[in-house]
Structure 1
Amino acid sequence: MSQQDPASAEASIDIDADPAAVYALITDLPTLASLAEETQAMAWSKGDSVAPGAVFKGQNRNGAKTWTTTCTVTDAEPGRTFAFDVRSLAVPVAHWRYDIVAGERGCTVTERTWDNRPGWFRKPASMATPTWLEDFANADMSWVFDATGLV
């Protein structure tokens, strides 16, 4: 699945905040990990800043199940775009993309994800995260920005 294909899930929110502040929040790994439901920690493993090619690891938990993901930054344009590919055990899992568009008052943030898991990997992966895509599709992003005081 490529970025030209429709996203598997998408959500947008208008925020009365400067696009640079929103970008700083989205790209701060400890903050992002603290706001994500399954992610316990994120840390840079190749490079130490947001740039295409930089790699970070995610430590994840869902109940008693734990796993690690490797994420490679694909796009990083301050105040505008942050995107990364996710792999687990070298298997493609997802592509996540955050687009920030400046407006009259603040900006609009659109979060998209593409489910890149190969067919054979979907069943074992669903044992760890049975409803992640459905949960995302029904989510309202405001809780993320509420927690940081940006909304």
Structure 2
Amino acid sequence: MRGSVSLFMDAPPEVVWDVVSDITRIGEFSPETFEAEWVEGSDGPTVGARFRGHVKRNGVGPVYWSACKVTSCEPGRDFGFAVYGGGKRLNTWRYQLEPRDGGTEVTESFELPSSLPTRIYWLLLGWARGRTNEKGMRQTLERVREVAERDAHRSD
């Protein structure tokens, strides 16, 4: 009930982190979440900060808002958030950054909570959702890479 995709970016971790932790830019990268905004007095990435994401499931619908809370926030290293529905954590997304060969190895991952309904869902339909998530993570990281590498080389 988890998955991940890694991609090398020719940009330093600090530049990549600035891109992935700016939730207001998610619409540039994600194939499903087309906008996000900080809420409840939050205005940037810190553990406990809250935001909401406007999602078009599978890129076609339904369209809905998801409540989110930042769960990990270490500049240049780690940015993660939990997605909530009906007051329960539905999923946790995370970007982990490792310096490598003058750039950054970026791993985007998701993890669903281990509950009976989630295990049943994953058993029946998880293969399809897992494949969709993997494709979406790869597309997101490729788009992040374009921006991060452009930003990194702009300062050269």
TM-score tier by shorter-chain length is 0.7 to 0.9
Q: Distance in 2 between matches of 1:97 and 1:118?
A: 20
> TM-score by structure 1 length?
0.79
Looking at structure 2, the residues matched to 137 and 72 of structure 1 have their Cα atoms a distance apart, in angstroms, of: 22
Q: Is the 8 A contact 1:94 1:117 kept in 2?
A: no
Structure 1: distance between partners of 2:4 and 2:86: 26
1:53 to 39, 48, 56: 48
Task: Give the match for residue 142 of structure 2.
Answer: 143
Tell me, in whole angstroms, the C-alpha distance in 1 between the residues paired with 2:75 and 2:148: 20
1:22 maps to which of 1, 13, 16 = 16
Give the SS at the match of 1:79: coil
Give distance in 1, aligned partners of 2:138 and 2:45.
26
Unaligned stretches of 5+ in structure 2? Answer: 151-156
Higher relative contact order (CA 8 A, sep 6+): 2
Q: Normalising by the residue count of structure 2, what TM-score does the alignment of the two structures yield?
A: 0.77
Distance (Å, rounded) in 2 between the aligned partners of 1:75 and 1:118? 22
Describe the shift of the 1:40–1:117 C-alpha distance in structure 2 as closer, same or farther (beyond 3 A). farther
Please tell me the root mean square deviation across aligned C-alpha atoms, in Å.
2.7
Query: Distance between the aligned counterparts of 1:104 and 1:94, measured in 2?
Result: 32
Contact 1:93–1:117, Cα closer than 8 Å, also in 2: no
* Identity in percent: 22
Q: Distance in 1 between matches of 2:84 and 2:7?
A: 27
Partner Cα separation in structure 2 for residue 67 and residue 100 of structure 1: 29
Q: What does the per-residue CA deviation read over 1:8-67, in whole Å, with 9 as the maximum and x for residues that have no partner?
A: 111111111011110000011122232111112100003111000000001111324112
2:99 pairs, out of 99, 102, 106, with 102
Q: 1:145: how far off?
A: 2.8
Aligned equivalents of 1:10, 1:111: Cα separation in 2: 6
Question: Deviations for 1:52-104, whole angstroms, at most 9, x for unmatched residues?
Answer: 00000011113241121111101101100001111122232101111101123
